[in-house]
Amino acid sequence: MKASQDNPDANQLGVGVNEEQVMEAVRKSGFPLQTLIANYLRTDFVVQEEWSYMDSDTGTQRTLDIVASRRIREFGDKNQPFVRPTLNFLIECKQSDLPFIFFMTATRPWLRNFPFFAGLGKESVVVKTDDDRSTWSEGILRALSLEEDPFVSNAVDCCMSLSKCVRKGKGELELSGPDAFQSIVLPLVKSLRYFKRQEAPPATARYFDLHIPLAVAVIDAPMIAAKIDNNQSSLILTPWVRVARYEAVEAESWLDRTEIFGIDVVHKSFFETYTQRHAIPFALKLAPLAVKHHVEIATGKGFIKGMGADSHSNIEGRLKPR
């Protein structure tokens, strides 16, 4: 094993431990994958490794492998808008020699909380109109007419549950039950919630950061989608799956008592494609629309002419400040 120039003679491996054993332990830990992903993101993002968050169940401090942030300025906002779009990746890295299995849904779930915006004073834009006394509460995505964007609606198949293969005896495999959920989905959902609390603006704020935090698990292991069509099971190698996670929450309105998150699980060899062809283009599409409607988003108030007669088509194109 190589040693630095000032390494003391006493700093050596002990008897029975060799470099290959140590290297294998490091590889299995996931640390090399974390370093590779962090180094890749540093080209365009501000990267923090071992980002700390509070576990909402235990009240203890935990860490996420990577949080990366990039203020979206490509559209050239010359003036200072009330809303400043920022793309964030919250990333957990996992390595395994054995495959992860994703049980795909027969129908696509509605991921109401995907993407999970943070940093705003208002969660929606309350719209009034000239031909109806009603008001409409439009979420940010719908207000910007991005609900049907491919990244949000149909770019990838969804699953409700996942598992990981483990060895059972000689030459046999079995599924690990809740291990994959507890090591991937649960930490990412908790970190999303903590990120939102951390970025919550003060009540007196006039300027807001519109964060788009995407929770991503980067996997260095075979990824297999398990599907059932016409009572026939099939296994398909796939590089990207979106895991839907339903969470019950306490809220006054019955509409807000369930949150539905989307967690993107991406193979390490597909991560560049995921970022460059899917996630970043979505953020670049959303950012100029958010700046165009920065007053409506910042105040949570908007006006749309003729909303009573037509409350569905071209919401973004008709949305004005109120």
pLDDT, tens only, 274-310: 999 999 999 999 999 999 999 999 999 999 999 999 9
* Calpha distance 156→39 (Å, rounded): 26
Report which of 216, 217, 199 is spatially closest to residue 208, judged by C-alpha positions: 199
* Residue 321, SS3 per DSSP: strand
Domain annotation covers residue 266:
yes
Please list, in sequence order, all residues whose beta carbon lies within 8 angstroms of the beta carbon of residue 22, skipping any fewer than 6 positions away. Answer: 1, 13
Residue owning tokens 């027969």? 106
Give the rounded percent of residues in the chain with a pLDDT score beyond 90: 67
Instruction: Give residue 320's pLDDT.
Output: 97
Domain annotation covers residue 81:
yes
Instruction: Give residue 301's pLDDT.
Output: 97
- Residues 224/237, Cβ–Cβ less than 8 Å: yes
- One-letter amino acid at 106 equals A
Give the rounded percent of residues in the chain with a pLDDT score beyond 70: 94
Report which of 194, 198, 188 is spatially closest to residue 93, judged by C-alpha positions: 188
* DSSP bridge pairs for 267: 219
Domain annotation covers residue 308:
no
Domain annotation covers residue 63:
yes
Omega prior to 321 cis, within 30 of 0: no
pLDDT exceeds 70 at position 253: no
The CA–CA distances, whole Å, from 116 to 65, 152, 164, 299 equal 19, 11, 26, 19
Domain annotation covers residue 230:
yes
Domain annotation covers residue 190:
yes
Q: Which domain holds residue 211?
A: 20-122+145-280
- Residues 280/87, Cβ–Cβ less than 8 Å: yes
Domain annotation covers residue 319:
no
Q: How many domains does the chain have?
A: 1
Domain annotation covers residue 263:
yes
- One-letter amino acid at 29 equals S
